[in-house]
Structure 1
Amino acid sequence: MKIVFFVRDLGLGGVERCVALVSEGLIARGCEVSIVMLGGNRNLWAARTGSAKVIDLSETWQGKKPWTWLAGWRAARQQIKDADILIAATFLMPLYMAYAVSRGLKTRVIGWVHGPLFELDQFATMNPIHRKACQYIYRRLNELVFVSEHARDSLARWLKQPIGDGWQVLPNFVDEEQPKVYPDKPASHTLQLLFVGRIAVEKQPHLWLETLECLNKKGIHAKLTVVGDGPLEDWLKNTSKARQLDKQISFAGHQSNVGDYLNAADVLLLTSSFEGCPLVVLEAMPLGLVVASTNAGGVYELFGKRRSEFVVETASGEALAELIAKQRRPELSIWLKQRAKHYSSEQILQQWMTLCLAPPTINLKSVDTENTEL
């Protein structure tokens, strides 16, 4: 079976990581996989995409140069003419090109939706032309794959239509190539908090400062390590200093492997406004790292019936500090290690294979995040 993914490029974003890991898994199961880069030539996942055919069309077709469109369309169509499945790995450029080049062909087209587009559009206010174009195409694709039920329900709200028969939920999975065995952490009287991701508005970094202040008021000494960078980094440094919290925050910058930081932490802080299926939580689970999160959509599905032990309903530092203070971390750590088995690569990749091999619009049974013994 030949499967083609359309991506912008293979940078370090969550979507790109998902493409690399799913491609790697499908190849291991006998599929022939091509990854077509439409908007850039970066491949920062070369170690995980070595068996895939990576094709750079970013010079052939450029969205802002109309005189390249026909050549780009022809080059992209050439890549899928004998493909069984074409997967648009995200919206905008990959979605547009997948729809355009598949017209008149028998190639099966699947749209992959990683985030809650209704909330994303509310937050970022999508360009009206792009909004109409994406909605037009999503309404005409018979098959869509979502990383969470929340992302699926969000798209239905955004399109103002019921959930389609060909809409499947296949969550992200635990990357089992990441190191899993670490030495025991030394005992410490300081609670080690960790944030991993972009320092940006949608991650609500003001909640990090509020959480530290509320923990201080409770007499809980805590330090926060921020792994990542972003547009609000200077604001965070200046504001933490002004609020006399700078001694409690350290900045590690962007890191390609966060396993050591996850292992050293006591609590993973997730304060997003919205999420699809956060990979960092799936990295934390097999290590038994307890999570304290805002109610950011798809994240709560990872915890099933125990969501209240990991997720606050009110996005405030006070609520997060209260949750952290009452979490029974040794017990929750054991539970998370067991819960991670529900998101094993073997289980999720088997569902991908079932989707690829089955007739279109088959209704797969996704991971049951609510009705589970755990």
Structure 2
Amino acid sequence: MKIAIVCYPTFGGSGIIATELGKGLALKGHDIHFFSYKMPVRLNKHFNNIFFHEVSVFDYPLFEFSQYEISLVCKLYETIKYEKIDLLHVHYAIPHAFVAYLVKKMLNEEDIDIPIVTTLHGTDISLVGKSASLHPIVKFSINKSDVVTCVSNSLKDETINFFSIKKEINVIPNFINFKKKKENQKIRSNFADKSDKILIHISNFRPVKKVNNVFKIFTNLRTKINAKLILVGDGPDRSKIENICRNSKFRDDIYFTGKLESIDDLLSISDLFILPSEKESFGLVALEAMSHGLPVISSNSGGIINEDKVTGFTSNYNDIEKMSNDAISILSDKILYKKFSDNALNKAKNYDISRILPLYEKIYNNLIKF
């Protein structure tokens, strides 16, 4: 098959999943055409059958704002027509699903029918889509897609309830490339002594991630256990959190790394993953942490796959005291830690790309068949 994939090129879950999906499909012999305004961060290896089409935004004095959507429509129309693309898979409802609809209508004028698959990832529904001004176009775009998928049952329910969607929504969870990882002692020594525990949080530092609560959980734990905290990522709340940390007596125990192309090295040296988000549609980073055998302390909101008392502990997102005590319990009890660690590894194996990729291929084949 020749498959066009539209995604954001950033470090967020939607861009990572879209890119890894395309790479996985390419390894199975499909021709993959990526479309974005810059090279996706995970598209860092050459494939003979992966092609990247940069969407250049034109500058014209009459237009005050970026014309990304118009440029994307033109690029997709041109490429699908001349490369004879079989299927268009867009990640994120707005603007990509609506762009896909426009492209489909343009191609229909030339007797070309391109099936559209739209994958919903979370914030396109829970934040962007709930803007009153965008509600009609999100609903329209979802209903006009040939197939809609989303990453969790909670996101499916939210989408159906808020937008009154009648179309079937297929739940296909996020995935990872599961493989055994080794701890890099040299890297670990840069952050902590052998006797220290390492807590890690990875996010886009948006208010919904509650990174300030990560800091509070750590400081509560730090009074009982020698530990370090690694904060990976960047975003709106980073400066505020950095200022809070600088004024803490534990400031020398906290590290900010910024955005990283690969998080495996830091996960491999860590002992516990913290994700107290107010809302998560899936929580891909929690799955990546579990693939390293890390127990998880998380909120119980949305579709986070952390299982209470099995792979870690869950709590209400603002229950800092419970999360702190749970973190202390895990790191103070070797038997409990091993139980959660083993369970986390076993659960992560169920989300290997080899199990998830065929679900997408089945959808593609059914669409192209008809």
TM-score by shorter chain over 0.5: yes
Q: Equivalent residue of 1:129, what SS?
A: coil
The residue aligned with 1:242 is 247
Whether 2:5 is the aligned partner of 1:5: answer: yes
The residue aligned with 1:223 is 228
Whether 2:334 is the aligned partner of 1:330: answer: no
Q: Equivalent residue of 1:226, what SS?
A: strand
Kindly report which structure 2 residues correspond to 1:156-175, keeping only aligned pairs within 5 A, or say none.
156-161=160-165, 164-165=167-168, 167-175=169-177
The residue aligned with 2:214 is 208
TM-score normalised according to structure 1 size:
0.82
Quote the offset at 1:321 in angstroms.
1.0
Taking the aligned partners of 1:183 and 1:34, their CA distance within structure 2 comes to 35
Quote the offset at 1:25 in angstroms.
1.0
The residue aligned with 2:320 is 317
Kindly report which structure 2 residues correspond to 1:13-52, keeping only aligned pairs within 5 A, or say none.
13-37=12-36, 40-48=37-45, 50=47, 51-52=49-50
Aligned length: 350
The residue aligned with 2:271 is 266
Change (3 A) 1:204 1:49: farther
Q: Deviations over 1:37-56 (max 9, x none)?
A: 2xx23343332463311112
Structure 2 contact 128–134 (Cα < 8 Å) conserved: no
Taking the aligned partners of 1:144 and 1:307, their CA distance within structure 2 comes to 31
TM-score normalised according to structure 2 size:
0.83
Q: Please report the RMSD computed on the Cα atoms of aligned residues, expressed in angstroms.
A: 3.1
Whether 2:88 is the aligned partner of 1:90: answer: no
Residue segments in structure 2 that go unaligned for 5+ positions in a row? 331-335
Whether 2:299 is the aligned partner of 1:294: answer: yes
Taking the aligned partners of 2:266 and 2:244, their CA distance within structure 1 comes to 24
Taking the aligned partners of 2:227 and 2:120, their CA distance within structure 1 comes to 37
Quote the offset at 1:359 in angstroms.
4.4
Change (3 A) 1:48 1:295: farther
| One-letter identity of the residue aligned with 2:318 | A
Identical-residue share of aligned pairs (%)? 20
Change (3 A) 1:7 1:338: closer
Change (3 A) 1:273 1:307: farther
The residue aligned with 1:368 is none
The residue aligned with 1:181 is 182
Q: Equivalent residue of 2:266, what SS?
A: helix
Residue segments in structure 1 that go unaligned for 5+ positions in a row? 363-374
Structure 1 contact 61–72 (Cα < 8 Å) conserved: no
Q: Equivalent residue of 1:238, what SS?
A: helix
Taking the aligned partners of 2:249 and 2:226, their CA distance within structure 1 comes to 14
